[in-house]
Each structure stands twice: as structure tokens, then as C-alpha cells.
Structure 1
Amino acid sequence: MVQAVGVQQVSGDVYAEVQSFYARQMRRVDALDVEGFAATFTADGVVVHADGHRQAGREEMVAGMRARLPRYEDVAVRHWFGHLLVEVDGADEDTVRVSYYTLVSEVDREGRVSFQPTFTVEDVLVRVEGRLLTRSRVIRRDVPGGPGVSAAS
């Protein structure tokens, strides 16, 4: 595997910590706990959505999520992450860069399952007072021939 300059391979403990962080974060969003989800970001955290819409700060994230809540009244939502690439920033051991694929499923009251398009996500996690928080997230919708994560990443 080719590693980028200034990036360190992570230990199994850090990899497991990152996976546990995402499990807790996504359980909050799947439970429609918008405040709890926003609390997994730094106060000045930024999300750039696939459509280019940018949300900065927890308050803006909460407002945006609240506006979309009616869409999820009659479905159970699950976010599935896979193929995580986790790298500690060589200049700052408290900064972790993560790239992963995500799939979102929705189950209606009759048990029918539907899927949203897949996405590639790039996160920057930072350790604040001993716990991981998301400082930035960039979400890109997967399209044929579009930008994605290279095999050497």
C-alpha cells in the first residue's frame, strides 16, 4: 500500500476507536437525535453535502436536520459505513483523517426496504479532551467515472 507523505498507519486500537465513534454517531442520527448527532462535531464543525450545501457549526446542523425530520416519520433509517481508510495526521497525532463509503437504507412500516445512492465521505476527526469529534465532513455522491478514493489512498 502506498502511503501519503506525512501520514502514519494507525494501530488496531485507533482503528477500533474510530469504528466505535461512527457506530455511536450513526445510532444518534438513525434515532433522529439531532442534538446528540450535532454534539459529535466540534462547535465549529463543517459539513459539505453532496449537493454543495455547506453547514457550519452545530446550530446550523441542528436547524438543517430538524427541517428534514418529517421525511423520516414513517421509515426506519440505517446508515452503513464500510471500507474505512483511517490515517493519523503526521503533524498532529490528535487529528485523524478517515475516508469511507456509506449506504443508507430505509424500511417502511410494511417492511419494504429502499436504498439511497451511495456516497464517499472524507472526514477529519480531532481528539478533544480525550474523545473524538468530527471537525469536517465532505460528502460526495458516487457516480460512474466520477471522483472517488484511489486504490493507493
Structure 2
Amino acid sequence: MTQTFATPDVTTDVYSRVQHFYAHQMQALDSLRFEDYAATFTEDGTFQHSPQAEPARTRAGIVAELVEFHKRFDGDPVQRRHWFTHIALTPQPDGSLASTVYALVVTVRPGGKPEIAPSCVVHDVLEIDEGRVLTRSRLVTHDQMF
């Protein structure tokens, strides 16, 4: 039996803008430029990346959450890379986009081998305002928590 999937009404221009947006957003995060990362969210945006944590709210709250989270790497020469793939976009009635993304976090230490942990699904609500993409909300679910 062949299954047919309806393709959402998302133009290639919008899809490529979102890919470009995610590339710059993740590079800001991986470079520890937390203010730049937070600026990719709406002023009242929410960000929940850890299953046990409450969501961070507002850009300032997102910066504070990231600073606190990354303290665990103090004194640890680690490079983390966030890989976003399989971006699925669905237009919402309010003009926003629901975005579901598979994400892998790759961690590398000097002389070590890359470790992949965690494997996640990122659930975003994105807004496009005058051509600029912003994240209204982000919920990261971890595959090991199923």
C-alpha cells in the first residue's frame, strides 16, 4: 500500500528562509553568543530545552537560562554543534508556521571522538515579519525520554 502525504502550502522561498534562519541561529548558540541567539526569538518568546525545566520567557530570560545551563561546561574544553534536519513546516491560521525539526547535538573534546547526545525533536512556532524569521516558542523533546 502506498501512503500519500499532503504537502503543506509552504513556498520554496519560505522554506529556504527558515533553513537559513536555523543555520544562523544554531551557529550563534554553538558559538556561545547567547544574546544573538535570544534575538532570534520574539520579545515575548519562550524556550524550553530541558525536559525538567520550566520554559525561559523573554529574550533576557533565554539569555539567563543559557548562561546558567552552560556553566556545566566551565573548565571543560568542549565544542557543541546542533544539527537541524528534516524541517517540516505547516502554516497556521494566524499566519505563523509550526515547525518540527529533528536535532542532534554533537559534542567534541580535544583529541576525542564526536559524541551524539541528545537526539531531539524541536517543536517551534515561527513568525515571519517583513521577511525576518523569529521564534515565538520552542519546545525541545528528548528521544531518550519517550
TM-score computed with the length of structure 2 as normaliser: 0.86
How far has the Cα of 1:11 moved from its partner?
1.2
The alignment of Structure 1 onto Structure 2 pairs a total of residues equal to 139
Question: How is 1:9-48 mapped onto 2 (pairs within 5 angstroms)?
Answer: 9-48=9-48
How far has the Cα of 1:2 moved from its partner?
4.2
> CA separation in 1, counterparts of 2:128 and 2:21?
11
- Secondary structure, in 3 states, of the residue corresponding to 2:45? strand
Aligned to 1:120: 121
Write out per-residue CA displacement over residues 93-119 of structure 1, whole angstroms, 9 at most, x where no aligned residue: 3x1111011000011011421121211
Aligned to 1:151: none
Name the aligned partner's letter for residue 17 of structure 2: E
> CA separation in 2, counterparts of 1:104 and 1:71?
16
Write out per-residue CA displacement over residues 103-141 of structure 1, whole angstroms, 9 at most, x where no aligned residue: 000110114211212111110000234301000011111
How far has the Cα of 1:79 moved from its partner?
0.3
CA RMSD of aligned residues (A): 1.8
Question: How is 1:31-70 mapped onto 2 (pairs within 5 angstroms)?
Answer: 31-49=31-49, 50-70=51-71
Question: How is 1:88-107 mapped onto 2 (pairs within 5 angstroms)?
Answer: 88-89=91-92, 91-93=93-95, 95-107=96-108
CA gap of 1:108–1:26, structure 2 versus 1, over 3 A, is same
- Secondary structure, in 3 states, of the residue corresponding to 1:106? strand
> CA separation in 2, counterparts of 1:129 and 1:12?
17
Question: How is 1:129-148 mapped onto 2 (pairs within 5 angstroms)?
Answer: 129-143=130-144, 146=146
Tell me if 1:75 matches 2:78: yes
5+ residue gaps, structure 2: none
TM-score computed with the length of structure 1 as normaliser: 0.82
- Secondary structure, in 3 states, of the residue corresponding to 2:118? coil
> CA separation in 2, counterparts of 1:113 and 1:67?
24
Write out per-residue CA displacement over residues 20-75 of structure 1, whole angstroms, 9 at most, x where no aligned residue: 11000000000000000000000100112322421111111111111233334511
- Secondary structure, in 3 states, of the residue corresponding to 1:92? coil
Name the aligned partner's letter for residue 60 of structure 1: G
- Secondary structure, in 3 states, of the residue corresponding to 1:116? strand
> CA separation in 1, counterparts of 2:111 and 2:71?
18
